[in-house]
C-alpha cells in the first residue's frame, strides 16, 4: 500500500467464536509524518482460511497530535458476516476442500419455556418433587486404623521426586510452577500459571478454562500434564477449581505451588544431575494435617508406617515429597469417606425453592439447546455432550410411555464433604411401567456413557456417583448411571437391579 512515510502493522488474532477455525482478523496503525495528508482508500484481500480470501475496504484518516500524525486505519467489511462465512464455504467447495463448520453465535441466547401442564397439574411430578426435596444430612465414620493402612499402602506404591536439574546446552529447566485461581464466572475459571523457561525466567500464562479442559493440551505445555483436566465446584458462596488427576482443590484467590514428579526438560538429549546435598525440612506433619483435615497423630502414624527408603526421600526434595505425600493422603481419605458415608433423613421440607429452580422461562446459549418434545418439563432442554443428546433422543423415542422428564438445574446440589465436592445429578424422569397393572416409576439418571463406574475417567466422578447411590437409596428414589446406547435396563427399580445382580 502506498502511504506517505507510513508503516503498517498487521496483527493476527485467532478467535474462538465469531470467526471460523483457522482465520484471523487484522488491525492496523499507520504512523505518518506530521502534517502529511495520508487519507487513502483501497481494497485489500485478507487471507482467511487455508489460502481462501475475502475482500474488505479500508479507510485512512489522519488524527493530529502534538508530535506526529497518527493515521487510523478503519477496516470495513463489504458484506455481512454471514455472507462472508457462506462465501468462504463456497470457496472451499470450489477448491475441492472440505469446508469447516459454519460458526455459531455463542452470545445469542434462547428461552426455554416451562410446561405448566406438568409443573402445576401432574400429580406424579408433585410426588416426585416431594421425594427429592427432603432434609438430608450426611454422617462420616472414619476408621482410623483402616485409613492409616490405606494411606501407607498408597505412599509406599507412589514414586517421589528427587531434586534434579535437567541440563540441555548448559541451561537449567526448573520444574516447579505456580497456579493461581483468579476468578470463576460464567462456568469458567480464569487461571494464572507461572512456569520458568530454560534460563530461569518466569513465563506466565493467563487463560480461562471450562470444566473438562486438559490444561497441558490447551496451553501446549507438557510440564502441566500432571494437572490433568480441571473441574469447577461450588463451595458455599464461592467456587473451587479441582485438578482431577491430583484431587487438589484450589479456591478463588488462592495460589498453589506444585512440583511434579519427574519434572525436567523435554529435549531429546539431556543430562540429569542429582544433587547429593540435603535440604532443610519443614514441619511436614503440621502441613499435611492443615491441608487434609487429618489429625496430627494420625498423619504421624501414616508417616511412621512408610518404608524407610521412602521416608528418606524427604531430605532430597522436601517440597516434592510433601506434594506427593499430601496428595495421596487426600485421595485415600476421599476414598475412605466415600466407602463409609451415611445419609440421614430429617423431618421437614428441604431447602430447595421449586419456583426458583424451575422458573417459567430459562435462558441458555443457543448452541446448547435441543427440542425436548411434549413430555419435557421445558420445550427446550440443555445438553452438554453428545451422550446427553443420545439420551434425549432415546427418551423422545419412548413416546407416550414417558410421563415427564427434566434436567436438574445447576443449583440443585446434594451436600457432600468438601473433599469430594457437592453433586449435581443429571436427569429426573417418570415412565409408565406396564407389567399387568400400569405403574408410573420415577428415576434419577446419570448419563456417563458407561454403566461401569470403575471406568469413569476421573476419581472424583466415581466418588460422587458412589455417594449419590447411597443418597438416593436413603430417600427412596431409583438412581442409575446409564449408557444412552443401551436402553434396556433403564427402567428397572433399584430393588430389581439388586436381584438381577445377585442372580
- Torsion-angle region of residue 287: left (phi > 0), alpha (psi -120 to 50) or beta? alpha
* Cell numbers placing 347: 423431618
Among residues 152, 177, 196, 173, the alpha carbon closest in space to that of 320 is found at 177
- Give CA–CA dist 38/337, Å, rounded: 73
Supply the Cα-derived Rg of the chain in whole angstroms.
29
pLDDT at 10: 35
Summary mean pLDDT of the chain = 76
How far is CA 87 from each of CA 45, 46, 99, 210, 428, rounded to the nearest angstrom? 14, 14, 11, 32, 44
- pLDDT score of 90: 77
- What is the tens place of the pLDDT at every residue in 420-433? 999 999 999 999 88
How far is the C-alpha of 118 from the C-alpha of 429, rounded, in Å?
12
Q: What's residue 278's pLDDT? A: 52
- The CATH-assigned architecture of domain 109-132+350-502 is 3-Layer(aba) Sandwich (3.40)
Backbone angles phi, psi at 147, to 5 degrees: -65, -45
Q: What is the DSSP string of 173-219?
A: EP--EEEEEEEEETTEEEEEEEEE-TTS-EEEEEEEE-TT-BHHHHH
- pLDDT at site 107: 56
Gap between the terminal Cα atoms of the chain: 81
**Rounded-to-integer distance, Cα 429 and Cα 29, Å:** 58
pLDDT, residue 20, reads 40
Instruction: Identify the segments of the chain with pLDDT beneath 70.
Output: 1-82, 96-108, 163-175, 197-200, 260-281, 365-367, 435-437, 449-457, 485-503
Determine how many CB atoms are found less than 10 A away from the CB of residue 394. 15
pLDDT for 131-168, tens place per residue?
A: 999 999 999 989 999 999 999 999 999 998 876 554 44
What is this structure's pTM? 0.59
Q: In DSSP terms, which residues pair with 43 in a beta bridge?
A: 57
Of how many residues is the chain composed?
A: 503
Provide the 8-state DSSP code for 102.
P
Instruction: Please report, for the chain, the start and end positions of each structural domain, with discontinuous segments joined by +.
Output: 1-103, 109-132+350-502, 141-160+277-340, 164-274
CA distance 2 to 14: 28
Q: How far is CA 320 from the centre of its chain?
A: 26
d(CA 380, CA 372): 5
Going by their DSSP bridges, the two strands 437-447 and 478-482 should be labelled as parallel
Q: What integer pLDDT is reported at residue 130 of this predicted model?
A: 93
The partner residues of 274 in beta bridges, in order of sequence, read: 164
- Distance from C-alpha of 477 to C-alpha of 441, rounded to nearest angstrom: 10
Amino acid at each position: 500500500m502506498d502511504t506517505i512515510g507510513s508503516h503498517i502493522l498487521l496483527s493476527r488474532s485467532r478467535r474462538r467464536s465469531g470467526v471460523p477455525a483457522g482465520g484471523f482478523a487484522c488491525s492496523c496503525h499507520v504512523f505518518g509524518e506530521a502534517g502529511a495528508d495520508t487519507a487513502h482508500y483501497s481494497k485489500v484481500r485478507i487471507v482467511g482460511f487455508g489460502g481462501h480470501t475475502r475482500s474488505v475496504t479500508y479507510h485512512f484518516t489522519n488524527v493530529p497530535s502534538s508530535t506526529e500524525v497518527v493515521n487510523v486505519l478503519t477496516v470495513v467489511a463489504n458484506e455481512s458476516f454471514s455472507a462472508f462465512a457462506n462465501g468462504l464455504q463456497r470457496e472451499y467447495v470450489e477448491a475441492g476442500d472440505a469446508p469447516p463448520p459454519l460458526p455459531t453465535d455463542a452470545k445469542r441466547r434462547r428461552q426455554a419455556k416451562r410446561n405448566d401442564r406438568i409443573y402445576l397439574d401432574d400429580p406424579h411430578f408433585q410426588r416426585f418433587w416431594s421425594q427429592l426435596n427432603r432434609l438430608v444430612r450426611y454422617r462420616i465414620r472414619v476408621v482410623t486404623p483402616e485409613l492409616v493402612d490405606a494411606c501407607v499402602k498408597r505412599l509406599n506404591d507412589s514414586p517421589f521426586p528427587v531434586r534434579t536439574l535437567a541440563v540441555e546446552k548448559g541451561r537449567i529447566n526448573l520444574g516447579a510452577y505456580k497456579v493461581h485461581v483468579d476468578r470463576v464466572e460464567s462456568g469458567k475459571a480464569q487461571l494464572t500459571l507461572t512456569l520458568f523457561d530454560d534460563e530461569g525466567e518466569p513465563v506466565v500464562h493467563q487463560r480461562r478454562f471450562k470444566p473438562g479442559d486438559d490444561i497441558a493440551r490447551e496451553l501446549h505445555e507438557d510440564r502441566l500434564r500432571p494437572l490433568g483436566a480441571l473441574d469447577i465446584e461450588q463451595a458455599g458462596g464461592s467456587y473451587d477449581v479441582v485438578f482431577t488427576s491430583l484431587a487438589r482443590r484450589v479456591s478463588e484467590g488462592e495460589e498453589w505451588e506444585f512440583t511434579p514428579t519427574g519434572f525436567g526438560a523435554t529435549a531429546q538429549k539431556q543430562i540429569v544431575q542429582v544433587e547429593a546435598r540435603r535440604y532443610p525440612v519443614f514441619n511436614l506433619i503440621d502441613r499435611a494435617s492443615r491441608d487434609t483435615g487429618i489429625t496430627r497423630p494420625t498423619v504421624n502414624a501414616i508417616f511412621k508406617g512408610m518404608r524407610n527408603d521412602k521416608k528418606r526421600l524427604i531430605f532430597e526434595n522436601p517440597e516434592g515429597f510433601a506434594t506427593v505425600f499430601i496428595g495421596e493422603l487426600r485421595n485415600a481419605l476421599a476414598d475412605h469417606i466415600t466407602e463409609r458415608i451415611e445419609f440421614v433423613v430429617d423431618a421437614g421440607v428441604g431447602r430447595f425453592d421449586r419456583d426458583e429452580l424451575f422458573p417459567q422461562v430459562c435462558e441458555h446459549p443457543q448452541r446448547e439447546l435441543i427440542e425436548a418434545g411434549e413430555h419435557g418439563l421445558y420445550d427446550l432442554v440443555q445438553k452438554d455432550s453428545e451422550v446427553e443428546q443420545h439420551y434425549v433422543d432415546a427418551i423422545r423415542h419412548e413416546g407416550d410411555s414417558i410421563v415427564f422428564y427434566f434436567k436438574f438445574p445447576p443449583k440443585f446440589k446434594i451436600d457432600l464433604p468438601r473433599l469430594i465436592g457437592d453433586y449435581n445429578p443429571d436427569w429426573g424422569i417418570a415412565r409408565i411401567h406396564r407389567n399387568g397393572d400400569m405403574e408410573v416409576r420415577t428415576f434419577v439418571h446419570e448419563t456417563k456413557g458407561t454403566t461401569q463406574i470403575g471406568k469413569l475417567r476421573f476419581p472424583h466422578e466415581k466418588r460422587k456417583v458412589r455417594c449419590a447411590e447411597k443418597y438416593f437409596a436413603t430417600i427412596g428414589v431409583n438412581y442409575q448411571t446409564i449408557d444412552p446406547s443401551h436402553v434396556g435396563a433403564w427402567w428397572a427399580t433399584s430393588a430389581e437391579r439388586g436381584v438381577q445382580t445377585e442372580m
